Structure 1
Amino acid sequence: QEQLQAESVQAALILYRSAQGSQADVLRAQLARDSLANDISKLQAERASDLAQIAQILDLPEPPSIEKQWPNLPPPPTLAQAEARLSGQPLLRSAQAQTRAAQIGVQVAKRGYWPEVTVSVDYGQDFYPGSPNWLSAGVNLSLPIFPGNRQDQDVAAARAKALQAQYRYDDQHLALTQQERATFARYEALKAQLERTERQLLPTARDAFSATLAAYAAGRVELSAVLRTQKEVLDYALTSLQYRRDLALSAAELDFLATQGATQP
């Protein structure tokens, strides 16, 4: 933006010195150029605030040094590959573990139907002198009576928990699948938009600015046309940066969704 503003100021000065332009055009161009100082100060303050927040989150003694380059992220897998790896996602692994625990709870509750067998052995001697030692053994078998009052209720409650855990897993799997498909579609759209902007829209806007600036220098258009085409260049440049940012965020999200958790025994 500073470069474009400098070119606009230079063109306005050339026309003014040659008595083909007005002083108002020079002042307008200089005003647009000098107002960048306020924008730069604002951006610097926002950057310092963001770095301070990052330091607080990461518990760093001082703000970190951020490299002035885009992250080098690997290309995401295809949608088919990502969906095939979705079962290993840590969130689904956690839901699977909860489902298995609930199913084990059903098996534990069913044990209430089994009779409890207790074996007891005693050995002793009577207090009377000359009495022989004695040994006794016994088997105690307890049978469940009225299972509907306790066992059936326990099993039903355990089955309800297992079914609820399965529903949670299914919902989690469906939500992650939809998120993965939506993110992949957004990634492909952003990739195409970024490529189109950088190869077609932004170069065309720059050519339009150069042509308008040349026409202004020749006295064929007003300065407002130059500033308007200059704004279009800046808008497309900013849009390109936003596409690149969103593309990196989508790639990071796809990487998270394709993350494989540890295999549960």
Structure 2
Amino acid sequence: MVPVSMPPLACLVLAGCMLFSAASHGQAALTLDQALRAAQDRSHQLAALHAAAAAAREMAVAAGQRPDPTLRVGLNNLPVDGPDRFSVTRDFMTMRSVAAMQELTGRDKLSARSARFEREAEAAEAARAQALATLRRETAMAWLDRHFQEQMLDLLRALRAEAGLQIEAAEAAYRGGRGGQADVFAARSAVALIDDRLRQTEGQLAVAKTRLARWVGDEARQALGAAPSLAAIRLDEGRVESQLAQQPEIVMLLKQEEIARAEADIAQRNKRPDWSVELMLSQRGPAYSNMVSVNVSLPLPVDPKNRQDRELAARLARVEQARAQREEATRAHGAEIRGWLQAWRSDRNRLAHYDGSLIPLAAERTRAALAAYRGGGGPLAAVLEARRIEIDTRLDRLRLEMDAAALWARLETLVPPGHDTAAPQRPAQPTEQ
């Protein structure tokens, strides 16, 4: 029989070499770390949250100051009829007054109000850390999605070249009387199916490039650099519970709880009313003495159990609400992280099984069917079926690696940059199959 194809591994190696050569002569490659830095540098949300924290700190200083004094100017007891009407100097009771009033807010109240804005500033910083974690996760997942879509496209193109050789072999056998026309159509059908997968993958790759460009901008036009090792993570699985309090989502909820506590503290201190002191100078006509008045004002809570007490109770209830939400979110987040870890390890084990068993077996079946066909002892349909299974197996392996990479990105971005909590874990070891 006519030789029909080069070994699948040789095609993949050749395609990889061609891709490496093209990348080395083109633009600088965009690595994952570079993509993360670019996404952080161009993020307006991070800048907005930084400004929000700065605004809250400015308000903390302002809230710690006493209210400005009030200036009051008045004309009292002006006659409006009789011989002294509209005269400001003839009647002894007519006075031109200037007064200054100051509210004497307690230092404890001012400190409580200032602390409330400090907590708000800390919450804005926590929100920035949470936004940064989300940005890094989405950027990493977009980068990895494009990386694996390109790998899948390269694999399909290599397999498409092999399938094209299969058509040539079937046509040659048909012309030489060693094969049937059905074999030619079967080979062409196999190529058409690969072409359809190629078109589908090209569309998915275009979407992945657009998704990456949303985070890194024009740098998404560059070729991608080598992928990082996806076989190890920085998160210490044995310390997940203790590390939960450091996660941006939980820190954000904790800061919201602290804001609620600060507002409850203000409500508690507001139960004691503030005094106000007023000094007034009154000027009368030249024949009369000028006068000085001192006034002290104090609000009178007439129904504290239905006003101040209820406001305090409402604030304390908000504190309890925030605490319960934080604790529930901590439990849910802990379970979610443990689930990601288990799924990631399972995927790594399955990938080892693919590499050690499924793909070699599929390749051997293809070689055996091809050898039988070349020797005249097997039909072309068996070769096509074996090749289809091998293609599906290789594509399934890539999809599984994509899923594992997405889980890796979620776990890796849980640890804030520059805050490694443990040494990198060893690669996930496959269990015995």
The TM-score, its normalising length taken from structure 2, stands at 0.52
From 259, 276, 282, the counterpart of 1:101:
259
Within a 5 Å distance, the mapping from 1:112-261 to structure 2 comes to 112-119=270-277, 144-259=301-416
Greater shift, 90-99 or 24-33, is seen at: 24-33
Which residue of the partner structure matches residue 25 of structure 1?
183
Tell me, in whole angstroms, the C-alpha distance in 2 between the residues paired with 1:74 and 1:196.
15
- Aligned-residue RMSD, C-alpha: 3.4
Q: Is the 8 A contact 2:366 2:390 kept in 1?
A: yes
Determine if contact 1:119/1:139 at 8 Å carries over to the other structure: yes
Residue-by-residue CA offset, 1:178-231 (whole Å, 9 max, x unaligned): 211111111111111111111211011100110111112223222221111111
C-alpha deviation, 1:91, in angstroms: 1.7
Percentage of matched positions with identical amino acids: 27
How far apart in 1 are the matches of 2:418 and 2:219?
A: 33
Report if the CA contact (8 A) 2:160-2:195 is conserved: no
Corresponding residue for 1:78? 236
User: For residues 68 and 213 of structure 1, do their structure 2 counterparts lie closer, same or farther at Cα, with a shift above 3 Å needed?
Assistant: farther
CA distance in 2, matches of 1:240, 1:116: 72
Distance verdict in 2 for CA 1:2–1:11, change over 3 Å = same
After TM superposition, where is structure 1 displaced by more than 6 Å over at least 4 residues in a row?
Answer: 123-128, 133-136
Opposite residue 78 of structure 1, the aligned amino acid is D
Residues 109-118 or 216-225, more deviating: 109-118
The letter of the residue matching 2:186 is R
TM-score w.r.t. the length of structure 1 is 0.80
SS at match of 1:101: helix
Q: Aligned partners of 2:193 and 2:317: how far apart in 1?
A: 66
Distance across 2 between alignment mates of 1:21 and 1:105: 86
State how far apart, in whole Å, the 1-side matches of 2:206 and 2:370 are: 36
- Report the Cα distance in structure 1 between the residues aligned to 2:275 and 2:337, rounded to whole angstroms: 54
5+ residue gaps in structure 2?
1-158, 420-433
Structure 1 unaligned runs (5+)? none
Matched residues, number: 260
How many Å separate the matches in 2 of 1:204 and 1:225?
A: 15
The letter of the residue matching 2:314 is A
Bigger shift: residues 214-223 or 74-83: 74-83
Q: SS of 1:113's equivalent?
A: coil
Structure 1 range deviating more: 67-76 or 224-233: 67-76
1:92 pairs with 2:250: yes
